[in-house]
Amino acid sequence: MKKISSVLLILTFSFLCSQESIETDRPDQTESASLTPKKFIQIESGFLYEKTGTQAEKFSHPNILWKYGINDNFELRMITEFSSEKSGNETFSGMMPLTLGFKAKLTDEKKFLPKISFIGHLTANKLSSKHFETTHIAPSFKFLFQHTLSEKWRMGYNLGADWNGETPDATAVYTLSAAYGINEKWGAFAEVFGFLNKFQKANHSLHGGFTYLISNDFQLDASSGFGISESSPDYFICCGVSYRFSTE
């Protein structure tokens, strides 16, 4: 019996060691082309403070991305966020509109061709606190590209568009991120991202931070950034916790 128990422990340990580490869509704005493993639930939660000018502040406490892996090519997604926004002497707090969506793998990485996935989201206009309701349902989408440059370096970039639920015009979204694996636990990234709308001034920001793996299924992160255009936030600071577990 002891021998059987020892063999089972060794097999379990070997499985855990060989299991790939968690890959998240946070803390950078560049969404990963990788999907949540089949029959896993992955929860990515974060807190954010953003300052714009002398009068505007925003707190996300928290925003949570819920993901479930259907199979190797498809995951379901839901975003919930409790937010506080301050403008001048007024502060509004409550639930932001609920967002539902999916991520689908399109191609695997092959030599110079990147790994490509697609994200589609719909944000409900009424499933929120009264102040944050919008007139219409708001769609958004992104194409996600990912290159493995070396054992330590990886590059990702996103291209897409979103709608705000109030006006018919779309806002183009772009991101470009470089990630570096410092060691088996620590990672670092730097990125540029922005939003382009023909009726508004361009919004561009720089962002960087670190991730730390507590285990293959548990990750911490911390990051900060600042705007590089007139309409961008002055600065923002965020931190988060991501965790996944099997439903089998």
Long-range contacts (CB closer than 8 Å, 24 or more residues apart) made by 160-164: 160/119, 162/121, 162/138, 163/136, 163/138, 163/139, 164/134, 164/138
Give me the mean pLDDT over the 103-129 stretch.
96
Give me the mean pLDDT over the 162-188 stretch.
96
What would the pLDDT profile of 1-41 be if each residue is shown by its tens digit? 444 344 333 333 333 333 689 999 999 999 999 999 999 99
Q: How confident is the model at residue 144 (pLDDT cuts 50, 70, 90)?
A: very high
| Residue 181 in tokens | 């694996």
pLDDT confidence of residue 19: 60
Q: Tell me the C-alpha distance between 78 and 67, whole Å.
A: 7
Query: What domains are defined for the chain?
Result: 23-246 (2.40.160.40)
Q: Classify the phi-psi angles of 12: left when phi > 0, otherwise alpha if psi is within -120 to 50, otherwise beta.
A: alpha
| Residue 63 in tokens | 């925003």
Does residue 168 carry a pLDDT above 60? yes
**Nearest to residue 231, comparing CAs of 190, 207, 197?**
197
Give me the mean pLDDT over the 180-188 stretch.
97
Q: How confident is the model at residue 88 (pLDDT cuts 50, 70, 90)?
A: confident
pTM for this prediction: 0.90
Give me the mean pLDDT over the 48-74 stretch.
95
Percentage of the chain beyond pLDDT 90 is 86
